[in-house]
């Protein structure tokens, strides 16, 4: 059951109650961070989250509102006594920026492994060491600089059927192996396959995160049937549409249209313009386009089941 906390919902500049972009996703004590805007480590403290749970960081693009918090966060991570290497994933064009940020950390007590992701095609990432049930996919977005959307898919194991295991007279010490999908040979020589003692396959949990982009149609397929779709919505008024087209961003209304087309379960808006002080005033209008829209605030949280 992944737990998701939106640490910062601001785009461009922070406000006193709105930090810059960052998303925290944790399952079984292993956390992934997507983007690390200024203030991210302060948001960790505010929401009672532990830096020591971070297993990997993913960066969408090189703009400051998505990366400027990285150096401070890594320094604080060093103070937690971390010695395990930390993987950071980012597009090719963001590597230089990340390396410059690493340079000011002045020797961390752990290694940082920088992984380059292609920016002109989608990629699938699996990190079995972190969570064998998690798959991460990227989507090239359309921004002023190369930018990647991320989709986290958490597979769910089928439920274990103890009645079936008992009926087959399988000793309890083999149940865990069978539940994790293995085939076991019992002391009496019988071979038991996991499907004999588990239920129907269950649909995975999907979380899609796209920010800093035009509302390109590819996002619809990428976010299809997501349990949670987190998408930018810089402004809520149509007089900003032309400027959003020029700056390669989108309106809250665009995000709602994408959410509806993609048939997602819920949409969280994020990455508001600092001049959009009260995005909640658009709630009623946005619900006309897509009913389950949430105009997120910093600290927005959910556990997906
Ligand atoms: Zn941004
Ligand atoms: Zn940007």
253-288 per-residue burial string, b: 16 or more CB within 10 A, e: under 16: bbbbbbbbbbebebbbbbbbbeebeebeebeeebee
The predicted structure's pLDDT at residue 106 = 86
Contact assessment for residue 246 and residue 174, using Cβ atoms and an 8 Å cutoff: no
Q: Which ligand is the nearest neighbour of the Cα of 232?
A: 1
pLDDT digits (tens, 9 = 90+) for 246-266: 999 999 999 999 999 999 999
- Average pLDDT (7-36) is 96
Q: How far is the CA of 274 from the centre of ligand 2 (A)?
A: 14
* Residue 126 confidence class, pLDDT cut points 50, 70, 90: very high
Q: Is 89 helix (H, G, I), strand (E, B) or coil?
A: strand
Q: How far is the CA of 234 from the centre of ligand 1 (A)?
A: 9
Q: How many other β-carbons are positioned within 10 Å of the β-carbon of residue 122? A: 15
- Average pLDDT (34-39) is 96
Q: How far is the CA of 192 from the centre of ligand 1 (A)?
A: 52
Determine the Cα–Cα distance for residues 20 and 176; give it in Å rounded to an integer.
42
pLDDT digits (tens, 9 = 90+) for 54-65: 999 999 999 999
Catalytic: 65? yes
**Range name among 27-36, 47-56, 91-100, 180-189 with the lowest pLDDT average:** 180-189
Domain coordinates in residue numbering, the chain = 3-158+200-297, 162-196
Q: Is the dihedral of CA 103, 104, 109, 110 positive or negative?
A: negative
The predicted structure's pLDDT at residue 181 = 86
Catalytic, out of 17, 35, 65, 239: 65
Q: Which residue has the tokens 């994020």?
A: 270
* Residue 201 confidence class, pLDDT cut points 50, 70, 90: confident
Determine the Cα–Cα distance for residues 212 and 233; give it in Å rounded to an integer.
9
Residue 116, token pair as written in the block: 């380059």
- Average pLDDT (24-52) is 96
- Average pLDDT (281-298) is 97
Residues having C-beta closer than 5 Å to ion ligand 2: 63, 212
Residues having C-beta closer than 5 Å to ion ligand 1: 11, 65, 212
What secondary structure letter does DSSP report for 233? Answer: -
Q: How far is the CA of 148 from the centre of ligand 1 (A)?
A: 12
CATH class of domain segment(s) 3-158+200-297:
alpha beta
Strand order from edge to edge, sheet including 86-91: 112-117, 86-91, 54-58, 30-34, 22-27, 3-8, 300-303
Q: E strand or H helix at 4, and its extent?
A: strand 3-8
Determine the Cα–Cα distance for residues 173 and 171; give it in Å rounded to an integer.
6
What percentage of residues in the chain have a pLDDT greater than 90? 95
pLDDT digits (tens, 9 = 90+) for 74-95: 999 999 989 999 999 999 999 9
Determine the Cα–Cα distance for residues 271 and 10; give it in Å rounded to an integer.
5
Q: How far is the CA of 11 from the centre of ligand 1 (A)?
A: 5
Q: How far is the CA of 47 from the centre of ligand 2 (A)?
A: 25
Q: Is the dihedral of CA 261, 264, 270, 275 positive or negative?
A: positive
Average pLDDT score, the chain: 96
The predicted structure's pLDDT at residue 107 = 84
């Amino acid at each position: 059951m992944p737990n998701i906390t939106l640490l910062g919902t601001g785009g461009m500049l922070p406000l006193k109650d709105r930090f810059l972009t960052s998303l925290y996703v944790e399952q079984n004590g292993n956390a992934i961070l997507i983007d690390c805007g200024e203030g991210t480590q302060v948001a960790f403290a505010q929401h009672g989250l532990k830096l020591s749970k971070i297993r990997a960081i993913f960066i969408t693009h090189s703009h400051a509102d998505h990366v400027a918090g990285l150096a401070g966060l890594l320094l604080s991570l060093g103070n937690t006594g971390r010695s395990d290497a930390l993987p950071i994933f980012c597009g090719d064009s963001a590597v230089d920026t990340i390396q410059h940020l690493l340079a000011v950390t002045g020797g961390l007590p752990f290694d940082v492994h920088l992984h380059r992701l292609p920016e002109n095609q989608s990629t699938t990432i699996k990190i079995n060491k972190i969570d064998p049930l998690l798959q991460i996919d990227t989507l090239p977005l359309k921004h002023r600089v190369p930018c990647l959307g991320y989709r986290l898919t958490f597979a769910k194991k089928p439920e274990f059927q103890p009645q079936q295991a008992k009926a087959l007279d399988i000793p309890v010490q083999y149940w865990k192996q069978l539940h994790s999908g293995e085939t076991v040979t019992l002391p009496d020589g019988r071979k038991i396959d996991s499907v004999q003692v588990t239920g129907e396959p269950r649909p995975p949990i999907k979380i899609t995160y796209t920010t800093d982009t035009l509302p390109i149609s590819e996002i619809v397929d990428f976010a299809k049937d997501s349990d949670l779709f987190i998408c930018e919505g810089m402004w809520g008024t149509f007089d900003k549409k032309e400027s959003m087209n020029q700056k390669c961003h989108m309106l809250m209304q665009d995000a709602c249209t994408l959410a509806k087309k993609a048939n997602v379960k819920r949409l969280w808006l994020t990455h508001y313009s600092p001049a959009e002080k009260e995005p909640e005033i658009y709630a009623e209008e946005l619900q006309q386009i897509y009913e389950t829209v949430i105009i997120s605030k910093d600290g927005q949280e959910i556990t997906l089941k």
